[in-house]
Amino acid sequence: MCDKNLHPLIGITLLILVSLAASTIHAAKAAPLLPHSQISIVGNAGFNNTIYMDNGVTSGNGSATNPYIIEGWNIVAPVNKDGIDIEQTNASLVIKNVNIQGGNVGSNGIFLSLMQLT
């Protein structure tokens, strides 16, 4: 049988242990976004960052299992231009961790046109 005088002591001990455990958990810090100009990709060849070095692609080959990745950019779009404009492609792609500023009325943060989805 448990002594009733120990119940508050057990509760306080558990509270202290939980508080200590919670204070050791740290949120992950994202890498800082790097500045980048507007991204415009037309057709599958536009993803080739050997030819188009400023296309914003950071990895991938465009397949369903290894999509092109566009990430880690802070894009300041010119007036009346889209931040990211991708057209006429059937490549697999992922856009993540991107901040887009600027543009104006009639412009988009991300504009996708004539994309063949599978």
The percent of residues above 90 in pLDDT, for the chain, comes to: 51
User: Which range of residues forms the domain containing residue 44?
Assistant: 34-115
- The band of 26, judged by pLDDT with boundaries at 50, 70 and 90, is low
pLDDT over 80 (residue 88): yes
What per-residue confidence (pLDDT) applies to 108? 86
In a domain, 19, yes or no: no
What per-residue confidence (pLDDT) applies to 2? 55
In a domain, 28, yes or no: no
CB 69 within 8 A of CB 60: yes
pLDDT over 80 (residue 111): yes
In a domain, 29, yes or no: no
In a domain, 77, yes or no: yes
Q: How many domains does the chain have?
A: 1
Q: Does residue 115 or residue 28 have the better pLDDT?
A: 115
Q: Does residue 5 or residue 96 have the better pLDDT?
A: 96
